[in-house]
Structures are given as C-alpha cells and as structure tokens.
Structure 1
Amino acid sequence: MAATGTAPLWWEDRATPGPGDAPDLPAAVDVAVVGGGFTGLWTAYYVLRERPDARVLVLEAEHVGFGASGRNGGWVSALWPVAPDVLAARSGAAATRAHLAALRDTVDEVGRVEETESLGSGFVKGGTLAVARSEAQEARARAAVAAGERWDEGTVWLDAAQARERLAATGTRGATFTPHCARVQPRDLADGLAAAVRRRGGVVAEGVRVGRAGDGVVVLADGRRVTARSVVLATEGWTPRLPGHERAVVPVYSLMVATEPLTAAQWDAVGLAGREVFTDHGHLVVYGQRTVDDRIAFGGRGAPYHLGSAVRPEFDHEEAVFASLRTTLTRMLPALDGVAFTHAWGGPLAIPRDWHPSVVWDPATRTGRAGGYVGDGVAATNLAGRTLADLVLDRSTPLLDLPWVGHRSPSWEPEPLRWLGVNAGLRLARLADREEDRTGRPSRLAPLLARLTGGH
C-alpha cells in the first residue's frame, strides 16, 4: 500500500510551531547559536552545563529539529564518512585513532545525557547490522572487517546463519556487525535537548529567521540585532543560504518511508530483536531501524540534487524514490509482504566537497561553525557541540586536537558543474548496484564512483 503521510513519522503528534510573531529576544548574549538542530542544541547544552550563568540564545527559523535533525534515520553511530586510511593519510595514524575512539565514546555520551536529562528519545544501543547479499557485497563486507581490525573499530563478520538470526533478509551471505550504534526517535531527541537547554536557563527561540550572522552580531530578517560575544553557525543543509557560504556544502536529499506498526508475529519473522539498525553493503546508501512504536523506518539516497543548491519543501517528496524504497525493503524482507506503508518524507543533508565534516573556529571574530556530516551526524553533532562549547568557553581540552577541528573543505564548483557532478555520482551508485545484481561481481563502475566521491 502506498504511503499516506506527508510529514516525517517522527513529527507525528509533536508540536510543530512555525514562523509567527517574533518573540522578545535579549539585545545581548554571551553565545548566539544560529540553527535549532542537533549541532546548535548540543552546543548550547554543553556551554550551559559547563557555565550555568552563561547567556545562551538559540535561534531557529522553524521549529527545533526542522532540518536533518528531525528527519533522519535515527542512527546514533560511530560511523564517519571519511575512511580511516584516508583520514590517516591526511592527519596521521595517532590522530585518526583518537578521532575514532572519540566517536565510539560519543555514542555512549548521548546515552549518558539521555539518562541524566530524561530526554525521552528511545535510545537503545543495539549496534549496526550491514548485510551482504551478493558476492560483490560480501567482498566489500569482509574488506570492511579487515580494515576495522586495523583501526580497532570492533566490527565483526557474521556468517549467513548468524546474520539471518538477527535479520531475515533474502540472499544473505553474511553480515558485518558493530556494537557502536544506538537507535533513537530523532525528533524526540531534538525536543528533549531543547527542553534541557531551557531548564538550564538558555533561550530557544523558534520561528525566528536570521539574515546575517558572525563577527559578534546576529541580524534578524526583520532587522533586529543581537550582539554576542560568540556566534555559532549550525545550519547544515541550509548553509548555502547564508551570505558567503553558497559553495561550502551541497544539500543532497535523503528520503524515508515507514510501515504501519508490526505485530509480534511479524517481528518474529523479521528479526531485529536487539533493536539493531540495519543496512546493506550496496553502493547506494540505505538505512533502517525498528522504531519505538514497532514500525520499520527505512531510507536511502537517490533523490536528485537541485541546481543552485536549492532547498524547497516540494523537494522533500520524490514519489519514484519512495516507490523504490518500498520495493527495496519488501524485497529485502519478504515477511513484510502486504504490510502497509503509512509515511513518506525527506529532507536535505550537507555534503562538503571532500566528504570531510569539520569544526571551525575563528578566534578573531569569535565565530564558530560545524557540519558537513554527510548523513552521519546524529552522534557527530554531539561531539561537535562539546568541541564548540570548549572553543566558545576558551577551554583547552583533548577534543580540540581531533583532526576535524580546523579542517577546511574546498569549495564546490560553480554551477552547473556541481549539478552535473553530484547527480552523476548518484546515477553511478545506482548503476553500480544494478551491475552487481546482474553479474554478481564487483562493479566496474565502482572505481569511477570512488574518484567522484574522493574515495569515501
């Protein structure tokens, strides 16, 4: 059955205030954060936890969690879009190990805050299962295990029987499993964080649009000004809308569908008893989870990039991609035959030119920013928030030595070159998967795809 919902499943029965009469705002603050997603909220939270008397203001154009933070697949994972070998070539082996260890700890840090602040996000650390469903996928999966052993990632290989015990996916030849991932309901995590920031004395202002920010001042779209000792930009997929940041990242859409709640018998047939999140080793990214209310939420890339880094509400819905996701999921899990799909939604995520997320701080203007998570941001935003809080508060900690701090990605090409390049990459990923489905061997297109994406 086709999806009927048009808003994200995660927003259902949650308040979604939009722009309205601008609330009263302080004229001056210690920290002004632009963007009410995970990066901005975690930054505000950690600033206030370390400095309870700080005047902290979070400004959000819509409602908290409106962007990728409230639309994503809910994976709190230690995944990183840059391969360890690539990161080590840039930053050295020791820095890479420190960074990977920090990401693994970040998964647990989100769990610690979930418990102490009663965020209500449905956090369950069940790990990540990535099934291999062809000879080519198995080869990549085993290579991933070998690479993970070199970097102490804790990824293990499960044989076909072990993998099917966890997830009854068709054609399973085996799977990789890593324990370093939790499932959350992402909108509830955003709402819980906003509530924690408010409890600690911060101001979270929704429905407030920003026209310009940086260098000690935030100018609102209505002309009002807020002065700030420090400014943090946390706008992710909407970053190209900020003056001077038009080519910093490209907003690429990821779309999701969700089933109706499954019965206990259906779950016995599907698996995921440990609330593992799941994917496969294909070239085109897909991702799924067993939700708090016992649905399957399943997403993937494949929607087109829009000329000029355009972000519009109508781009959240690509019926051809939704249909492909439903087909992919039901072919992967035949126990879902006849199950209704009730929701379909999407939104943009930010991709830097080198696929490398970053935390940047300008001490001269006391302006910081973080982002470019390439879809792996639910946990990384927490690490970014702690790091930005240290920078804002002039604290010297080991987090500031991690290799993404101070990293500056090159700008994307001007249009129409980036439109051609990004959409060519998406098309190559689809074609590579189809070739492997047909031949059973690693795609001959994969090396070209790797060159387009910088080897990530």
Structure 2
Amino acid sequence: MHTLERLGWDNLRAIGATLTRYGIDAEWEPTGEMTVATREWQVPALEREAEKAYELGWEPILLGPDAVREEVASPTYLAGLWDRDAVAMVHPAKLAFGLAAACRSLGVRIYENTRVTGLRSDARRLRLSGAYGSVTARRVALATGAFPPLLRRMRGFLIPVYDYALVTEPLTPAQREAVGWKHRQGLGDAANQFHYYRLTADDRILWGGYDAVYHYGNGLRPDLENRPATFAALARHFFATFPQLEGIRFTHAWGGVIDTCSRFCAFYGTAHDRRLAYAAGYTGLGVGATRFGADVMLDLLRIGLAPGEETERTRLAMVRSKPVPFPPEPLRYGVIGLTRREIARADRNDGRRGLWLRALDRLGLGFDS
C-alpha cells in the first residue's frame, strides 16, 4: 500500500505537469476532496479512514459537525474528512481534447469515428480491422473501457454501468455565500449509494452518483443515457443537502456508461505473446487512474521485449491479480440486482451489512475489496 500510495501521488503530480508542459487548459484545481458523513453510522467509518491515512503518511483533516459545515454549509453534514493534497479537480472533456491536441502536435495520428470490430495476430504484427479498412501495429494498448472488448478473455470481467449527473445554473453571489465552499474541494458522502459533487469553473454545482444502473445482457444503447426517474431522485437529494438553494434550476442532465469489475478498481493483463496489453474496470475512477493504467500498459509492453523483466508497477498485487469474473446471464443480472438492493438496505439500516454483503466482503468483492 505504501508503494501504491507513492505511485498514486507521483501520477497526480505528473498529470498537472503534463497540462503545464503542453499548455492544456483543463481547469485544473488541486483543491483536494472531502468525504462527508450524513448519518451517524458513517462518522466512525471516517475516523477509521483517517487512521489508515495517517499510517500511510497522509495528513487529512478530520472535521466535526461545526467545522465541516463551516467549510460547506449543509444541515446534513455530521463530520468530514478533508484530504487536501491527493486529489485535484479537472474538466474531463477539456482534458481529453487537450491531450488529443498534444498528441497530434507530436505526430500521433488519431483515427476518430472509426469503430474497430476485429483483432487478430498477423505474423509479427497485430491487425485491427473495421468497416473502412485495417491498421497493423507491433504493439497494442487496449483501453476501450465499458465497450465490448476485442479480447474475448476480458468479457467475463467487465460490465457496463450507467451513471447520471445534473448541473445547476451558475450560483449568484448570494447563493455562493450561502453555501460557503471557499476552498472548492471535491465532495462525496460516505454512504454506500453515494453522491459526488463539485463546483465548476463558472460556479455551477455538478451533482451526480447514487444510482448505478446495469441493464440485462450488458445493455448499451443511447436511450439509456436519459433516465428521468434518476434525474428526479438526484434533484430531491440535492435540495435535501442544500435547502438554501431551493429554486435554483438545473441546466444540464446526462448519463454515461462506465466499466465496472467485481473488485471496483482496474485490472491489467497481456495477450498475443505480450504484444498486447490492456487495462479496464476503473469503476468511475478513470479520470486520474487511466494515466496510471497507461503507464502499466507501457511497462507490460516493454516487458514483452525482455522476458522476466519487472517494474515497480508490474510487481504490484493490484497489477498481477484479476477480479472474480461475473457469472453469465441471466444469473449475472440477478446477482447485480440483489447486490444493489442489499447495498440500499444497508444504507437504510445504519450501515449494517446483511448476509449477502458480508459474503461478498469475505470473497474480496465490491467496495471493501
């Protein structure tokens, strides 16, 4: 864990350095993040998390009810754990567009709107084929996230889950003062079905999370990005958190698909005699963690040139192990549905985890893996 924490810190600093080097305006704000307890049972969990952080060399601030509400004014807050150093806010789309422009400036060719439908080994090269032709490469980094992977062995490990978000209109100066939030840290609550939220550069509030929806058969369709029932639930939760903002309008609402695996963090591997490396299963952690995943893939591809060679990253248990695969349908849909219901019930029952969740914990599956 000490090694992983240090590598994570290096990864975060490297993202900021890359933005500076290539002049990318991605609204980078190293403000940290604060996890808030909104129910009594969540307070001891924050205290335990603080103890673990101290053991690993971090110095987060544990805040009581008055102190946390002084940071961000919500009547629902009972405690907070503010990590001031290990997290930064960023605009993900501007980050992606800026990195693409930087790649092009270095001579990289990007084939947009080109769906790759096949992958096969062709002599000493790999051939990626699609509707309009094919591309060959000596080495391939496969990072297609939630979408059906080209490598069959990955399919049992991944499911697509839809996540949803709202964004308010810009806060007026009076509304901004009523909320506080002068340090602009990212926020998330400590429930199992949690919300994540932040201020944008123009002082809107982005509010998302809570509902993570899986559709039968790894369903992926554009119409699934619009879920009015979830948008309505998110709006209710928003005004429960910030009643002083009653009447503010939401100007944007959307949904998107993320790749999830059973251990809720990325996994890695190689194929085709180590000429292909892959990383997937980020479970919503991808904005920062995909850079780390890219480094792992590059390490694995370099190792392919020197059998037996290892790096600090590839020696990690996180990189060397795989999550438990999901069962096939229809059992997959039933297991995921049961787990979602049990997670919701644990939140209603003061965090008490039922038999099913305790069994998953023992198997190293889910949030506590």
TM-score of the aligned structures, taking structure 1 as reference length = 0.73
Q: Match for 2:18: what amino acid?
A: V
Residues 1:425 and 2:331 aligned together: no
Instruction: Map 1:442-453 onto structure 2 (within 5 A).
Output: 442-445=350-353, 448-452=356-360, 453=365
For 1:274, the equivalent position in structure 2 comes to: 183
Unaligned runs of 5+ in 1: 1-95, 436-441
In the aligned structure 2, how far is the partner of 1:341 from the partner of 1:141?
Answer: 31
Counterpart selection for 2:97 from 166, 171, 191: 191
Counterpart selection for 1:160 from 37, 55, 65: 65
Counterpart selection for 2:220 from 311, 317, 330: 311
Contact 1:138 1:174 in 2 (8 A): yes
Point out which structure has higher relative CO (alpha carbons under 8 A, 6+ apart): 1
Cα 1:317–1:287, aligned 2, differ >3 Å: closer, same or farther? same
Q: What secondary structure, in the 3-state scheme, does the structure 2 residue paired with 1:382 have?
A: helix
CA RMSD, aligned part only?
A: 2.1
User: How far apart are residue 373 of structure 1 and its match?
Assistant: 1.0
Contact 1:217 1:225 in 2 (8 A): no
In the aligned structure 2, how far is the partner of 1:181 from the partner of 1:385?
Answer: 19
Residues 1:212 and 2:121 aligned together: no
Cα 1:303–1:196, aligned 2, differ >3 Å: closer, same or farther? same
For 1:357, the equivalent position in structure 2 comes to: 266
User: How far apart are residue 398 of structure 1 and its match?
Assistant: 2.6
Q: What secondary structure, in the 3-state scheme, does the structure 1 residue paired with 2:217 have?
A: helix
For 1:175, the equivalent position in structure 2 comes to: 80
Between 1:201-210 and 1:298-307, the stretch displaced more is 298-307
Cα 1:272–1:101, aligned 2, differ >3 Å: closer, same or farther? same
In the aligned structure 1, how far is the partner of 2:50 from the partner of 2:351?
Answer: 20
For 1:221, the equivalent position in structure 2 comes to: 130
In the aligned structure 1, how far is the partner of 2:11 from the partner of 2:355?
Answer: 32
Contact 2:270 2:277 in 1 (8 A): yes
User: How far apart are residue 227 of structure 1 and its match?
Assistant: 1.3
Contact 1:284 1:302 in 2 (8 A): yes
Instruction: Map 1:266-415 onto structure 2 (within 5 A).
Output: 266-362=175-271, 364-394=273-303, 397-415=311-329
Q: Match for 2:315: what amino acid?
A: D
Cα 1:214–1:298, aligned 2, differ >3 Å: closer, same or farther? farther
Runs of 4+ in 1 over 6 A off after TM superposition: none
Residues 1:114 and 2:19 aligned together: yes
How many residues align structurally? 355
Identity of aligned residues (%): 30
Cα 1:447–1:418, aligned 2, differ >3 Å: closer, same or farther? same
Contact 1:213 1:231 in 2 (8 A): no
Instruction: Map 1:9-20 onto structure 2 (within 5 A).
Output: none
In the aligned structure 2, how far is the partner of 1:383 from the partner of 1:303?
Answer: 24
Q: Deviations over 1:54-96 (max 9, x none)?
A: xxxxxxxxxxxxxxxxxxxxxxxxxxxxxxxxxxxxxxxxxx2
User: How far apart are residue 447 of structure 1 and its match?
Assistant: 6.1
Q: Deviations over 1:332-380 (max 9, x none)?
A: 1122211001111111111112334122234714001002111112111
Contact 1:256 1:299 in 2 (8 A): yes
Q: Match for 1:248: what amino acid?
A: F
Contact 1:125 1:181 in 2 (8 A): yes
Contact 2:27 2:91 in 1 (8 A): yes
Between 1:294-303 and 1:189-198, the stretch displaced more is 294-303
Between 1:190-199 and 1:112-121, the stretch displaced more is 112-121
Between 1:359-368 and 1:117-126, the stretch displaced more is 359-368
In the aligned structure 1, how far is the partner of 2:142 from the partner of 2:158?
Answer: 14
Contact 2:35 2:80 in 1 (8 A): yes
In the aligned structure 2, how far is the partner of 1:366 from the partner of 1:176?
Answer: 43
Q: Deviations over 1:128-178 (max 9, x none)?
A: 111112211112211211222233343331122221121111132210111
Q: What secondary structure, in the 3-state scheme, does the structure 1 residue paired with 2:154 have?
A: coil
In the aligned structure 1, how far is the partner of 2:104 from the partner of 2:355?
Answer: 49
Between 1:229-238 and 1:350-359, the stretch displaced more is 350-359
Contact 1:127 1:277 in 2 (8 A): yes
For 1:79, the equivalent position in structure 2 comes to: none
Cα 1:145–1:351, aligned 2, differ >3 Å: closer, same or farther? same
Between 1:275-284 and 1:300-309, the stretch displaced more is 300-309
Q: What secondary structure, in the 3-state scheme, does the structure 2 residue paired with 1:181 have?
A: coil
Contact 2:163 2:213 in 1 (8 A): no
Q: Match for 1:114: what amino acid?
A: L
Between 1:296-305 and 1:443-452, the stretch displaced more is 443-452
Cα 1:450–1:285, aligned 2, differ >3 Å: closer, same or farther? farther
TM-score of the aligned structures, taking structure 2 as reference length = 0.90
Cα 1:165–1:320, aligned 2, differ >3 Å: closer, same or farther? same
In the aligned structure 1, how far is the partner of 2:65 from the partner of 2:243?
Answer: 17
In the aligned structure 2, how far is the partner of 1:212 from the partner of 1:111?
Answer: 35
For 1:17, the equivalent position in structure 2 comes to: none
For 2:167, the equivalent position in structure 1 comes to: 258
For 1:72, the equivalent position in structure 2 comes to: none
